[in-house]
A and B are shown apart, each in its own frame.
Chain A
Amino acid sequence: MIEQAPSNRPLVLVADDDEDILTLVTFRLERAGCDVVKARSGDEALSLALEQVPDLAVLDVMMPGLDGYEVTFELRRAEATRTMPIILLTARAQESDVARGLAAGADEYVRKPFDARDLRERVERLLTRGLAKPA
Chain B
Amino acid sequence: MSSKPQRLTLRITAYTGVALLFAAGAILWFVNSRATAQAENQAVNRAQFIADALLHDELGEADFVRPVMGSRRAQLDELFQRAVHTEGMLRMNLIAPSGQITYSTSPALIGTRPAQEQEAIEPALRGKGASHVDHIDQGGHRIKTLATYLPVQPADGAPIGVFELYQDYDARVTDQARKTLYPVAGFLALALFVLCAALVPILRRVTAAVEVRNEQLVEQATRLEQSLSFAQEAQAEAENARRTLSDQNRRLVELDRLKDEFLSLVSHELRTPLTSIRGYLDLVLDEEAGELNTEQRRFLKAVERNSGRLLRLVGDLLFVAQADAGRLTLERAKVDVAALAADCVEAARPVADQRTIDLQLAAVPVPALMGDRGRLAQVLDNLVSNALKFTPEGGRVEVRTSTTDEYVYMVVEDSGVGIPAAEQPRLFERFFRAASATEQAIPGTGLGLAIVKAIVEAHAGRIEVVSALGKGTTFRVELPLREIRSAGPVEVAA
| Contact present for A18 and B489 (CB under 8 Å) | no
Q: Does B58 lie at the interface of the complex (its beta carbon under 8 Å from any beta carbon of A)?
A: no
Instruction: Assess the B288–A93 pair: CB atoms within 8 A.
Output: no
Q: Within the complex, what minimum Cβ distance (angstroms) separates B63 from chain A? A: 144
A92 and B270 alpha carbons, distance in the complex (Å)? 11
Return the chain B residue nearest A96 by Cβ.
B327
Fill in one digit per residue for B270-297: 1 if any A CB lies within 8 Å of its CB, else 0: 0110111111101100101000000000
- Enumerate A19-38 residues with CB–CB distance to B below 8 Å: 20-21, 24, 27-28, 31
The reply to whether B271 and A31 form a contact with Cβ atoms under 8 Å apart is: no
Nearest CB on B from A82, distance (A): 28
Interface contact B275-A95, CB-CB below 8 Å: no
The reply on A112 being an interface residue by CB < 8 A is yes
Residues on the A chain within 8 Å of B38, using CB: none
Asked if B276 and A31 make an inter-chain contact with CB atoms under 8 angstroms apart, the answer reads no
Interface residues of A in 44-97 (CB under 8 A from B): 62, 91-96
Contact with A along B402-437 (1 / 0, CB 8 A): 000000000000000000000000000000000000
Contacts of B489 in A (CB 8 A): 95, 99
> A16 CB to closest chain B CB, in angstroms?
10
A68: shortest Cβ distance to chain B, in Å?
14
Q: Are A112 and B286 in contact (CB under 8 A)?
A: no
Chain B: interface size category: 20 to 34
Complex contact A112–B275 (CB within 8 A): yes
Given A21-B276, A24-B283, A116-B282; A91-B327 close (CB under 8 Å): no
Assembly CA distance A42 to B279 (angstroms): 23
Which single member of A28, A62, A114 contacts B275 (CB below 8 Å)? A114
Tell me the minimal C-beta distance from B136 to chain A in angstroms: 128
Which of B264, B276, B279 has a CB less than 8 Å from the CB of A116? B279
Is A134 an interface position by the 8 A CB rule?
Answer: no
Smallest CB gap from A62: residue in B: B268
Instruction: Mark out the residues of chain B between 322 and 346 whose CB falls within 8 Å of any chain A CB in the assembled complex.
Output: 322, 327, 329, 331
Q: How far does the alpha carbon of A97 sit from the alpha carbon of B439 in the complex, in Å?
A: 41
Q: How far is the CA of A96 from the CA of B329 in the complex (A)?
A: 9
Contact B318 A93 (CB under 8 A): yes
Q: Give the CA-CA distance A18 to B279 in the complex, in Å.
A: 13
Given contacts A112-B272, A113-B278, A114-B275, 5 further A-B contacts (CB under 8 A): A21-B272, A21-B275, A93-B318, A95-B331, A116-B286
The 4 A-B residue pairs whose C-beta atoms are closest, nearest first, are A91-B271, A113-B275, A112-B275, A20-B276
A-B contact pairs, 13 of them (CB 8 A): A21-B275, A21-B279, A24-B275, A24-B279, A28-B279, A91-B268, A91-B271, A93-B318, A113-B278, A114-B279, A116-B279, A116-B282, A116-B286
Which residues on A are within 8 Å of B, measured CB to CB? 18, 20-21, 24, 27-28, 31, 62, 91-96, 99, 112-114, 116
